[in-house]
Chain A
């Protein structure tokens, strides 16, 4: 009887407490794997008052060990690809990967470049692709919302 005020946490939704807590506060780590910095500026736009994704509980963190989401921009080259793999290995699981921009989604015009061995999804498993050059902050918010829906299992 004492526990009933908390019971909605368990019975109101068909997911457990951890998943619910996760979807209410996705912490993101921004991994820039040799981008042109255009996507990065748009990612930073998300945290300005106009778009302010902190109202969804999303914030940037300084260490990948605190992160739930790995936001990847740019096409990985031989050097940053290795580091991206290490970053993903260091992240606490579950860690979702969001590929932001055309480069991260599929290398676009860098596919014949001398220094781009593979796209992001051949290094780490990508959950959400947000194409665009650069994608609008609105598109990124839509992508994150899709990620939250995916985690909730909807």
Chain B
């Protein structure tokens, strides 16, 4: 168990909803969606982890977004998980203002899953054509 995870647990004691250790080097930490920017800022800026990518999944409980951070010196991967239960109008604070590299993956999650990233500087289509019908999100299970 690295000191990265220890520091996150220490800093966000009480804000962590669930802590899951799949293996020694693969850790999932669940936060409330509103706590994500603060946690990302801490992990990225203070702990110096590398932002690998973000992933979005449509689950029966809601839309789940995972922010994967890699701590390269020890080969650990820490994933911050946020579950957005509101499937009608899912929204979460954008982390593109903290990490510029997250801009494109947020655009992709926005167009494929319909998650509105609040505060994103340039939220427009990335993989789909510009005149893609609005409100049609191909990776949603109710897409049809």
Question: B-contacting residues of A (Cβ < 8 Å)?
Answer: 77-79, 114-115
Is B129 a contact of A78 with CB atoms below 8 Å? Answer: yes
Q: Once the chains are docked, how many angstroms separate the CA of A78 from the CA of B129?
A: 6
Interface residues of B, dominant DSSP:
loop
* A116 vs chain B, min Cβ distance (A): 11
Question: A-contacting residues of B (Cβ < 8 Å)?
Answer: 127-129, 138, 143
| Chain B residues within an 8 Å CB radius of A77 | 127
| Chain A residues within an 8 Å CB radius of B127 | 77, 79, 115
Q: 8 extra interchain contacts, Cβ-Cβ under 8 A, other than A79-B128, A115-B127, A115-B128? A: A77-B127, A78-B128, A78-B129, A79-B127, A79-B129, A114-B138, A114-B143, A115-B138
* A13 vs chain B, min Cβ distance (A): 48
Interface residues of A, dominant DSSP:
loop
Pick 11 A–B contacts, CB within 8 A, sort by A. Answer: A77-B127, A78-B128, A78-B129, A79-B127, A79-B128, A79-B129, A114-B138, A114-B143, A115-B127, A115-B128, A115-B138
| Chain B residues within an 8 Å CB radius of A79 | 127-129
Q: Once the chains are docked, how many angstroms separate the CA of A108 from the CA of B127?
A: 20
| Chain B residues within an 8 Å CB radius of A115 | 127-128, 138
What are the 9 A-B residue pairs with the smallest beta carbon separation, nearest first? A114-B138, A78-B129, A79-B129, A115-B128, A78-B128, A115-B138, A115-B127, A79-B127, A77-B127
Q: Once the chains are docked, how many angstroms separate the CA of A79 from the CA of B127?
A: 8
| Chain A residues within an 8 Å CB radius of B138 | 114-115
| Least CB separation from B128: chain A residue | A115
Q: Once the chains are docked, how many angstroms separate the CA of A79 from the CA of B128?
A: 7
| Least CB separation from B136: chain A residue | A114
* B87 vs chain A, min Cβ distance (A): 19
| Least CB separation from A117: chain B residue | B129
| Chain A residues within an 8 Å CB radius of B128 | 78-79, 115
